[in-house]
Structure 1
């Protein structure tokens, strides 16, 4: 990904939802039309899933933190980090926040135009305006690789010595008006290796250089409690750590939050399946859906998108238990089902409405 790709991602319009069945007055009758409609609905639900209360809460916290950091003096600013289990939606959440920030920061530019500007104090220089940089770290990323990734994102050459790459990166931040650098998969960095320690030093230097021009850094990863990166004294002294978990049903409050998510999903689905009853998902199927997905929103989105499409293809206006049972989810979810015996213990009854 480079700045052009990121601009296109941030400026892309939201997918247009298929016409709800209530507005169309009837489900498409002809087989071919119904199949096409089912595919459109399933694709829409996957691309625009129901808003997750847990993730929306995190988005709000990250936005508030960015606004707070922008008020800090230039120099050694707060470093934000987000940690979450694998596939919990951390990258998707950060990208959503960054996309909103990009649109806010670039509101004066036409959506289709290539953002260009004259850097402050450099009226004779015209450059691309690049307020956000997004790169992914690899386990073998060297400090030179990191600088090269950042410069390449901004459209600069990277055939330089490490020290020159560092200098050029610092200059480029100012030229392009960089306000935020996001390093994803930062947990991949192995700081106990000599190369990893050098990359860690580069990350700290980049964060400092960003602060000098009014920018900030967000680190994203699936860290453990004893992470070398987050335990680094220099980073920890400037660190604001956010944690994203998965949904749970261990307490009344957690169950209520899970049911709230399912209620939002039902409201989204029932515009295409008007025969669903209140509470079909949030009450009757809440425990079964949790056992299948273990609270991971990606698996939930896949499950409910596919069962909605299946019902439409069959000409039905609601979901039955067989729909939920037939969807094959991630290997992680499948492993859990095999290990816990969920499929056998809570096998849904055929041709009935959703039950717990």
Structure 2
């Protein structure tokens, strides 16, 4: 993100300087990931899992699973967490475009502490093996038993300690080969566990997957379910407002004429109705509304700015449904004591 410039200062800048800043700001806002209370809690759980597995004796370790319905932002969350963990692990070596390490005395190899795979539909064992080998720069051809051995050797050679398999709901466990796939995952977990590593499965609605029904996998699973921000209880409302307050801390320095609490107090309910608490839609709504208010010379962000932002089809359908829900009748008639 660019260094924030007060609105009054921006107004006094030259047109060239304004154009340069505006271009930087709009570009940065497009890729912005807002801090999320729920994501921070989930990140803490994943970090604890990885740390515990690293300290446990060699052998099969606990398997992490991150499940959520579509559009909640599970992949964005996991990638953001994994990138932070990668930077922490490499330290100064992170600046090296090709970090290396010494798996044994006298041997230097590329250091690849993480593998992040995104699966295709109906992925089979050979597809998973090929993805891992290609990611690490190895040929992917060969019989499954040969490529499996090649993968395990590469794990040891390159210091792989975290294997993330995204879109795990695409794993083919629906036919006669399903047992082989489940056994393959257990084998990967055992071999990775010998190195103190962790395997994390990421996917949509994994609670409905056969992965969760396998007794051996299920006995090692540490399940993490992500969701949109609900708004059913007072605690939910406070958590939602905290999320919006954190968003204000990031966003409002770029539009400092807006009043404090513009999102977390003034428009909190309105924003939730538009997004139903989905972080991705909320980030898009807040950033686009802020940019629109900045651009049209406003000194605050109004519901008109919020309404003008097109969101996902899911969000629009959810908003339409909320607007058509019949209002609840007054409780007064149920609690009012008749006068005798």
TM-score, scaled relative to structure 2: 0.89
For the structure 1 residues 48 and 212, does the alpha-carbon distance in structure 2 shift closer, same or farther, using more than 3 Å as the test?
same
1:226 aligned to 182, 190, 208, which one?
208
Shift of 1:223: 2.1
Matches within 5 A, 1:39-118: 39-109=23-93, 111-118=95-102
For the structure 1 residues 35 and 339, does the alpha-carbon distance in structure 2 shift closer, same or farther, using more than 3 Å as the test?
farther
> Relative to structure 2, which stretch is displaced further, 330-339 or 234-243?
330-339
Distance 2:262 2:289 in 1: 13
Per-residue displacement from partner, 1:185-221 (whole Å, max 9, x unpaired)?
A: 1012241223444333222211111112221101111
Matching of residue 199 in structure 1 with residue 184 in structure 2: no
For the structure 1 residues 291 and 38, does the alpha-carbon distance in structure 2 shift closer, same or farther, using more than 3 Å as the test?
farther
Unpaired runs of 5+ residues, structure 2, are 328-340
Larger Rg: 2
Query: Which residue does 1:324 correspond to in 2?
Result: 306
Query: Which residue does 1:13 correspond to in 2?
Result: none
Secondary structure of 1:57's counterpart equals helix
Query: Which residue does 1:153 correspond to in 2?
Result: 135
> Relative to structure 2, which stretch is displaced further, 130-139 or 218-227?
218-227
Contact 1:76 1:208 in 2 (8 A): yes
Contact 2:172 2:181 in 1 (8 A): no
Unpaired runs of 5+ residues, structure 1, are 1-15, 346-356
Shift of 1:64: 1.7
Q: Which runs of 4+ in 1 moved over 6 A?
A: 29-32
For the structure 1 residues 217 and 38, does the alpha-carbon distance in structure 2 shift closer, same or farther, using more than 3 Å as the test?
same
Secondary structure of 2:33's counterpart equals coil
Contact 2:275 2:319 in 1 (8 A): no
TM-score, scaled relative to structure 1: 0.85
Contact 2:166 2:202 in 1 (8 A): yes
Matches within 5 A, 1:177-196: 177-196=159-178
Shift of 1:314: 1.1
Query: Which residue does 2:112 correspond to in 1?
Result: 130
Number of residue equivalences: 326
Query: Which residue does 1:19 correspond to in 2?
Result: 4
Query: Which residue does 1:10 correspond to in 2?
Result: none
Per-residue displacement from partner, 1:234-285 (whole Å, max 9, x unpaired)?
A: 1111111111111011000000111111112223222122221222211221
Query: Which residue does 1:5 correspond to in 2?
Result: none
Shift of 1:158: 0.9
Q: CA RMSD in A?
A: 2.2
Matching of residue 337 in structure 1 with residue 316 in structure 2: no
Matching of residue 273 in structure 1 with residue 255 in structure 2: yes
For the structure 1 residues 150 and 269, does the alpha-carbon distance in structure 2 shift closer, same or farther, using more than 3 Å as the test?
same
Distance 1:124 1:26 in 2: 57
Matching of residue 175 in structure 1 with residue 124 in structure 2: no
Distance 1:192 1:329 in 2: 35
